[in-house]
Amino acid sequence: MNAYPQMHEKFRSIWISDIHLGTRGCNADLLLDFLRCTESQYLYLVGDIIDAWRMRRSWYWRQEHNDVIQKVLRKARKGTRVIYIPGNHDESFRDFAAHRFGRVAVLRETIHVTADGKRFLVMHGDQFDGIVKYAKWLAFVGDRAYSWALGANIWFNRVRRTLGFPYWSLSAYLKHKVKNAVEYISNYENAVVAEARRRGVDGVICGHIHTAEIRSFGDIIYCNDGDWVESCTALVEHHDGRLEIVRWAERPHLMPMSAVDKADKEECASASSPTLGFLKSMASSARSKP
Ligand SMILES: [Mn+2]
């Protein structure tokens, strides 16, 4: 038996996206902890689950990345309705839209009806990212990065002075970038909300910009489930239909991160190589595209 008390939080639905399995940035161990500690009737994978883009250039795959996939498949077998909506980093999976893999349904987008009867359009949302190309701004978002930059600026200019270069404000440059990032996020949100309004739904649930949020834009509820690279967030629906953002990195953890229950371990051992083989073939089929 597990010596640690296993907390199981039950929700009606869970949305997670932008996991970027196959990259160094993926916080697979925290996500595994989240998946182990939560249960739901519906589990939506809202895109950029596997980063086939970056896997084409460099291969980074750890046991934890397998474990995430196995854990999701296990949930599906145990009765969770798993709906996978591919994003732009795993767009090769869009070719399988409207197919079922075992108990996992692959869809381009879908409508989720909450317990209190609200209709939500669920999609990854990259089609509304017309303004800035992928994630150039992401590195500069966040107070911590910004204050780090302010400190780095002092050293940077000491070196410049030593070499005879004039002062150049890295912080002003970054501030400009952050301002652009804020503008970018609001442009993105407005575009997504406009689409939801056009479709006549009550709200929209998406990912893609790695910024978790629940906000009303007039008559439309905008929800973003965030990501598992930077913020480690999920969107959850309680049994009464109430939506909430869960910030898993900020939770106190009762279980040790590396604890894998026996059943999971056995499944991982038996199924890890076919999984990886399948993913490799997906990545190489993506490579053959323009
Ligand atoms: Mn994306």
Residue type (1 letter), 125: G
* Cα 157 to middle of ligand 1, angstroms: 36
Predicted local distance difference test score (pLDDT) of residue 150: 57
Which domain CATH number covers 227? Answer: 3.60.21.10
CA-to-CA dists, residue 74 to 7, 71, 189, 207, 265, angstroms: 18, 5, 34, 24, 12
Q: What is the DSSP letter of 230?
A: T
Domain tally for the chain? 1
Interhelix angle 262-287/63-77, nearest 10 degrees: 110
pLDDT at 128 over 90: no
This prediction's pTM: 0.74
- Cα of 208 to ligand 1 centre, how many Å? 4
The predicted pLDDT at position 288 comes to 38
How far does residue 263's CA lie from ligand 1's centre (Å)? 32
Q: How confident is the model at residue 173 (pLDDT cuts 50, 70, 90)?
A: low
User: How many A from CA of 53 to the centre of ligand 1?
Assistant: 11
Nearest 5°: phi and psi at 76? -60, -45
**49 CA to centre of ligand 1 in angstroms:** 9
Q: Is the pLDDT of residue 141 over 70?
A: no
Centre of ligand 1 from the C-alpha of residue 18, in Å: 6
Digit-coded pLDDT (tens) for 72-118: 999 999 999 999 999 988 888 888 888 888 889 999 999 999 999 99
Other CB atoms closer than 10 Å to residue 274's CB: what's the count?
A: 9
Q: What is the mean pLDDT of residues 127-138?
A: 54
What spacing in Å lies between the alpha carbon of 76 and ligand 1's midpoint?
A: 24
At residue 174, the pLDDT reads 61
Range of the domain at 185: 2-287
214 membership: H or E segment, kind and range:
strand 213-217
Cα separation, 256 vs 21, in Å, equals 21
Contact 257, 38 (CB under 8 A): no
- Cα(259) to ligand 1 centroid in Å equals 30
82 beta partners: 43, 104
Question: Is there a contact between 19 and 54 (Cβ–Cβ < 8 Å)?
Answer: no
Give the distance, in angstroms, between the CA of residue 176 and the centroid of all CA atoms in the same chain.
26
d(CA 149, CA 84): 37
CA of 6 to the centre of ligand 1 (A): 33
Distance 29 CA to ligand 1 centre (A): 21
The alpha carbon of 30 and the centre of ligand 1 are apart by a number of angstroms equal to 20
Q: Are 69 and 21 in contact (CB under 8 A)?
A: yes
